[in-house]
Amino acid sequence: MCAWYQLSGTARLRRCPEVDAVLDELRDLKGDEFEVVTTDVDPGTIDLTFRGDSEFTDEGADELDERLASLGRHATEPAVFTGEYDGELRVIPLDPADWSPAAPAGIPILGTVR
């Protein structure tokens, strides 16, 4: 079953070969139906604007969401892509904190200082 998927959002990303590969995949995904625009912010950092709409299967919509979410590890700040698929809200958060290594165990408290 196919349904219409409308999606848009912006994110600030560190530019690297992984990001460029995902952006190329997004550009190839549905041709002219989705717009993938990047703007250089400073050396090594870009702003991504992604927007458009097209027909997708459930699996295709999930794949698009996963590609966008994979950019989270390269985000310099939290961002959100939002859209509507088959009448339901879709939210794809990009949060660099989700990709950070686990924090080391805390320092044990040995006593209370008054």
**44 DSSP assignment:** T
pLDDT of the residue at 46: 97
For the stretch 41-88, pLDDT in tens is 999 999 999 999 999 989 989 999 999 999 999 999 999 999 999 999
Helix axes 58-69, 17-29, angle to 10 degrees: 150
What is the domain partition of the chain in residue ranges?
Answer: 2-97
CA 40/CA 92 separation, integer angstroms: 23
Fold of 2-97: Alpha-Beta Plaits (3.30.70)
Under the banding of pLDDT at 50, 70 and 90, the label for residue 97 is confident
CA 108/CA 95 separation, integer angstroms: 29
State the average pLDDT for the chain: 87
Residue 73: helix, strand or coil by DSSP? helix
CA 51/CA 99 separation, integer angstroms: 24
Joined together, the tokens standing for residue 61 give: 């919509």
